[in-house]
Amino acid sequence: MADTQSSPGTGSSSSEPQPVKGFSNLVRHIQNDKIGVGMWMTRLLTIIFATFGYILPIFGTFLGNPSACYYKTMMAAAATSALRLHQRLHSIQLSREFAASMMTEDSAHYLLYSVIFIFASGPITMALLPALLFAVLHAGSYTLNLLDALGTPNSVWPMRMLISLVELQSRNILRMVAFTEIFLLPITVMNVFRGVTWLVGPLVYYRFLGLRYSSRKVCIAVSFLRIAIANY
């Protein structure tokens, strides 16, 4: 009698649907999130060009000279921002309301940032830092999503641990990005006198800073700066 009562419970537990993992699930995830995968790929390109093409040009013959890799990094970052902006706003509208809404998006700010350092200046190493740090942070997070979809938690634990360490430092990364963005303003001004930057470069960059620090999403970075200044 006890056996007949326990067998239905066993049958019900075995009949529970299990999450589908494997390559087919990964393909399904990619098909359902094409823009997300596209941003992941452009962020990987940002990391590759910035790290191995410009900062440590160990693959110079394959990726190109460091100066070219600098501009490739900025173009990859611009592509990431454009994809993110499309993901957030979906379609372009010729209206004042749409323009005002677009100017509140972080992706629009960093699209402007990338364009500034593509067209309005020569290579500035410090300008790569925000693009590189954001690429590392977000590419790592999305890599975890892909690994979860693939269903290989045990075989790739070193990668998961490395990404987790990066995510634990996310607040410090945001703080470093905020400081870098501020320090770039006097650098762009000095580059005008050196003949490296157009006169319009610092003016447009000042506008970028105004957009960043009037954004509601940047309050964390501003609080970091205030704490750092108070401690200093």
Is the predicted pLDDT of residue 11 greater than 90, yes or no?
no
Mean pLDDT across the stretch 151-171? Answer: 76
Selection from 50-59, 79-88, 192-201 with the highest mean pLDDT: 79-88
Give the residue-averaged pLDDT of 18-23: 60
Please give the angle made by the CA atoms of 150, 140 and 54, to the nearest 5 degrees: 125
**Mean pLDDT value of segment 171-178:** 90
Identify the burial level of 40 via C-beta atoms within 10 angstroms of its C-beta, where 0-12 means exposed, 13-18 middle and 19 or more buried.
buried
Is the model's pLDDT at 50 over the cut of 90? yes
31 within 8 A of 79, measured Cβ to Cβ: no
What count of other Cβ atoms lies within 10 Å of the Cβ of residue 62?
8
Task: Flag whether pLDDT at 94 surpasses 50.
Answer: yes
- The pLDDT tens digits of the residues spanning 99-117 come to 777 778 888 899 999 999 9
Is 60 exceeded by the pLDDT of residue 17? no
What's the whole-number average pLDDT of the chain?
80
Four-CA torsion 217, 219, 220, 222, nearest 10 degrees: 130
Work out the angle at residue 211's Cα, subtended by the Cα atoms of residues 181 and 182, and round it to the nearest 5 degrees. 15
pLDDT for the residue 129 = 94
Cα 153 to Cα 175: distance, rounded to the nearest angstrom: 31
Which of the four pLDDT bands, split at 50, 70 and 90, describes residue 2? very low
Distance of CA 226 to the CA centre of its chain: 24
Q: How large is the average pLDDT for residues 145-149? A: 80
Q: Is the per-residue pLDDT at 61 higher than 80?
A: no
**pLDDT-based confidence at residue 151 (cuts at 50, 70, 90):** confident
Which band of pLDDT confidence, cut at 50, 70 and 90, is reported for residue 229?
A: very low
Is the pLDDT at 46 greater than 90? The verdict is yes
What is the pLDDT averaged over residues 129-138?
A: 94
For 29, counting Cβ atoms within 10 Å of its Cβ (0-12 exposed, 13-18 middle, 19+ buried), the class is middle
Q: Is the pLDDT of residue 13 over 50?
A: no
Name every residue whose Cβ is closer than 8 Å to that of residue 19 and which is 6 or more positions away in sequence: 151
Residue 6 has pLDDT above 50, yes or no: no
